[in-house]
Structure 1
Amino acid sequence: MPIRHAACSCGQLTAQVVGEPVRVSICHCLACQRRSGSVFAEQARFRREDVTPSGRSTVYERAGDEGPGARFHFCPVCGATVYYELVGMPEFVAVPVGAFAEPGFPTPTVSVYEERMHGWVVPPPGAEHYR
């Protein structure tokens, strides 16, 4: 069973994850574009019991376009988001895939908010698509 380590840019806030993600997805919503500083955000969803955070975090809670939203945990020193809680799904924790700094991480299988996707972005072959 793999053990992965997610971390912020300065290393103060981390999350250890045991096992494979339940889901890996990319989100094209405008809030994720702003939060990630990119044209989409990629995240991996894990069972809560498989994620062990460590370090201090500041929390930003955001209402969702659909559903109750999320609580983002980011480093108060460098500002990087390391994990977030899905308010309507307390049994899961999501981790931005970039926080793992692992180029071989599993490919996303879901692409959401594609109506806001930049025209040059091409989701992975075989991914489920949601507008």
Structure 2
Amino acid sequence: MIVRLASCSCGQLTARVVGEPTRISICHCLGCQRRTGSAFSNQARFPRANVAPSGVASEYVQAGDEGPGARFHFCPHCGATVYYEPLAMPDQVCIPVGAFADPGFPVPTVSVYEERMHRWIVPPASAEHIF
């Protein structure tokens, strides 16, 4: 069984994950662009039972472009988001792929909100393209 550890920049907040993700996606919505400070976000979704957070987290609830949004958990010291809970999927937890600091992490299988995608971005050809 694969075990991965996601961490904030200072290491105070972590999430231990057992097993493979149920979905790996990139999102081009404006909310994700603002939240990450990048042109898109990249996250992996896992069953809640497979994720064990540790450390002190601050929370921020962000409304979604569509749907109820998500509750983001970030380190109050360094500010890095380590995991978030999509409010429409209480049995799932999402973790930004960068929090794993693993260049060998699997490729995204889904690309969403492509109508807001920066024109220079080329999602993986094998990804399902939504919106």
| Superposition TM-score tier, normalisation by shorter sequence | over 0.9
CA distance in 2, matches of 1:53, 1:29: 26
State the percentage of identical aligned residues. 71
Once the two structures are superposed, residues 87-107 of structure 1 have per-residue CA deviations (whole angstroms, 9 ceiling, x without a partner) of 010000000000000000010
Match of 1:106 in 2: 106
Match of 1:3 in 2: 3
- C-alpha displacement of 1:22: 0.2
- The answer to whether residue 84 in structure 2 is matched with residue 84 in structure 1 is yes
Match of 1:53 in 2: 53
Once the two structures are superposed, residues 39-59 of structure 1 have per-residue CA deviations (whole angstroms, 9 ceiling, x without a partner) of 000000000000000000000
Give 3-state SS (helix, strand or coil) of 2:89's partner.
coil
Match of 1:27 in 2: 27
- C-alpha displacement of 1:3: 0.3
Give 3-state SS (helix, strand or coil) of 1:6's partner.
strand
Normalising to structure 1: TM-score of the pair?
Answer: 0.99
Which amino acid in structure 2 is aligned with residue 11 of structure 1?
G
- C-alpha displacement of 1:86: 0.6
CA distance in 2, matches of 1:9, 1:86: 23
CA RMSD of aligned residues (A): 0.5
CA distance in 2, matches of 1:64, 1:34: 12
Give unpaired runs (5+ residues) of structure 1.
Answer: none
Give 3-state SS (helix, strand or coil) of 1:124's partner.
coil
- The answer to whether residue 75 in structure 2 is matched with residue 75 in structure 1 is yes
| Consecutive aligned runs of 4 or more in structure 1 exceeding 6 Å deviation | none
CA distance in 2, matches of 1:83, 1:73: 6
- C-alpha displacement of 1:65: 1.1
CA distance in 2, matches of 1:118, 1:89: 28
CA distance in 1, matches of 2:31, 2:78: 20
- C-alpha displacement of 1:63: 1.1
CA distance in 2, matches of 1:126, 1:107: 9
Which amino acid in structure 1 is aligned with residue 45 of structure 2?
R
Match of 1:128 in 2: 128
CA distance in 1, matches of 2:126, 2:31: 25
